Amino acid sequence: MASVADMIRDAVDCHRAGDLDLAEEHYRRVLGREPENPGILHLLGTLAHHRGRHDVALDLLGRAIAADDRVAEFHNTLGAILQAIGRTEESLSAYRQAILLKPYFAEAYNNIAMVLQSQGNCSRAVAYYERAVQLAPDCADIHYNLGNALRSEDRLSEALDEYQQSLKLKPDYAEAHNNLGITLREQGQFEQAIDSYRQAIRLNPGCALFHSNLASVLQHQGRLADAIAHCERAVSLEPGSAEVYYNLGSALRDAGRCDEAIEQNNLAIWLRPDYADAHWNQAIAYLLKGSFLEGWKEFEWRRSTDWHISAYPHRHRKPRWNGESFAGRRLLVHCEQGVGDCIQFVRYLPLVKALGGTVIFEAWRSLHGLLKEFDGIDKLVELSFETKTRAQFDCCASIMDLPGIFGTVEETIPASVPYIHADPARAEYWRRKLAGPDFKVGIVWAGSAMHANDYNRSCRLEHFAPIGRIEGIKLYGLQKGEPARQADELADEVALENLAEHFADFTDAAAAIESLDMVISVDTAVLHLAGAMGKPVWALLPFAPDWRWMLGRADSPWYPTMKLFRQEEWGDWNSVLRNVTEELRALVGRQRLGVNR
């Protein structure tokens, strides 16, 4: 007859080899000889836990601890079982008991940290992980876990160090390569992130998440064919995941393949009907292709996305206006998203006013001077992201709701311009200041760095250098913010007077624009302002443009005096500005001939 020691050895060998059925059989034979053997009860409980039989595991660990409550490993395993069934406070007690019995028990410190992190208490989790690392510096998993907690705390440089240490200890750690890639991307190190994702895929080519993450950064870099290929691979690996269809739809949309994007978004929504981001993605695809009615319907889902909190953080208890008459009542219309969006859609307020009583418009202070006499606004109040307005109102709507409320299609866009006017006195000041025979062109080369798509929509001042060399042209900067410094840095290359340094708000910008012959701008609020004023304005658009510019056209139904110049390849501003230069040179030449005649 085999000894108990031989039976235990056989059981453990089977357990390590993954033959759980045979391991359990051996463990139970031992228990037949020694029914309250605490070590075997613990091992059998661990096996039950790994097989998801947590009730059985709890019973077995309870018996093991009853037989010998001085073994730290028993309490640690009990903590893991309790954690698995959601009894987190009890699991923390069990882990702490393990540490009391074995003060240098790195695994128990790691386990406490994991519970704290799952509860959102990442700062305390970091402290426990750091203690675990001190006790077990050669454990790759603990370094990896610490990296995850540090990344959650936005301590990205420290997280990088931990992931890299984890990979030194375990070079084939695919998850660590993946999370290293995530952190590198968050730091803007895109090529290094791509390398890390590719390493993760090499080690585990069957992980859909790794392909999706690589696709996301490739899409950000404009490498759309590669991004789409990895999205399609993720779909083939995990066809039941709504996220993979959403990611593919996003990449296809950026490639201008809107019909295919809509198909993928539909699959994501079919799998998860309340998937707000997929509905929002669907809205953008519809609007980009000019299917406005479908787009406005899906546009409502933006309120359910995390992104919308940064676009407009307040939730009002008053009813949302649906386009019915509000005669005798007060309607609050509030800004949402960017200043350019406000300028574009303020055109609807006269239509709103025609349906009812008092229109209160909540807008950024920088727009108040521009809109103080605007038809359709009875009262202007300042928008604050920190506090809700104190204005009294009966119902409310977002400025971005209005196209959908009015059922706007391309043919019914209220496109009469100008609908925004410069202050006459300020405009006269700029007219005198800028007087001269040259063809005066205002330029904007960059938007706000806070905009999520700024890396895509902005260029640099040097791209405008060929325009400045056209005979008879004089360039005036309308550029605000940090990019305005490029005017000084490139003074020898681009002759330019930056007017924007004298602007207090958009009232000044409008007055200066009124005195110019043309505005040429990337996709910023100034572009919208010039279009709303009816000035000749040329828009410089990236390969994947914002939805309002649609695809494959050189005009905009929103702004009759605007001409669109588009990138033909991702990031290629040189060809865009080359086309602009050629057309502008021809335009100035024709005007000169007309003057001579």
Are 142 and 123 contacting, i.e. CB atoms less than 8 angstroms apart? no
pLDDT value of residue 10: 63
pLDDT value of residue 358: 97
| Joined tokens for residue 363 | 């807008």
Are 456 and 420 contacting, i.e. CB atoms less than 8 angstroms apart? no
HSE on the CB side for 404, CA within 13 Å?
18
Q: Which fold has domain 424-596?
A: Rossmann fold (3.40.50)
pLDDT value of residue 156: 96
**pTM, rounded to two decimals:** 0.90
User: Domain residue spans in the chain?
Assistant: 324-412, 424-596
Torsions phi, psi for 531 (to 5 deg): -65, -40
Helix, strand and coil in the chain, % to nearest 5:
60, 10, 30
pLDDT value of residue 591: 79
| Joined tokens for residue 488 | 């000084």
Contacts of 381 (CB under 8 A, 6+ apart): 360, 361, 362, 363, 389, 391
The DSSP H or E segment spanning 213 is helix 208-220
Strands 537-541 and 559-566: parallel
pLDDT value of residue 507: 95
* CATH match of 324-412 with 3.30.428: no
C-alpha separations of 236 from 174, 212, 230, 232, 470 in Å: 20, 12, 10, 6, 54
Are 539 and 521 contacting, i.e. CB atoms less than 8 angstroms apart? yes
Are 458 and 484 contacting, i.e. CB atoms less than 8 angstroms apart? no
- How far is residue 330 CA from its own chain's centroid? 35
Are 112 and 145 contacting, i.e. CB atoms less than 8 angstroms apart? no
Do 324-412 and 424-596 come out as alike in CATH topology? yes
| Joined tokens for residue 142 | 């603990």
CA dihedral 370, 373, 377, 382 (to 10 degrees): 40
Verify cis geometry, omega within 30 degrees of 0, for the bond prior to 483.
no
pLDDT value of residue 595: 54
Are 370 and 504 contacting, i.e. CB atoms less than 8 angstroms apart? no
Question: Which residues of the chain carry a pLDDT beneath 70?
Answer: 1-8, 10-15, 17-27, 30-34, 451, 593-597
Shortest CA distance to 557 belongs to which of 377, 287, 372? 287
As a whole-number percent, the residues of the chain with pLDDT over 90 amount to 78
Are 449 and 526 contacting, i.e. CB atoms less than 8 angstroms apart? no
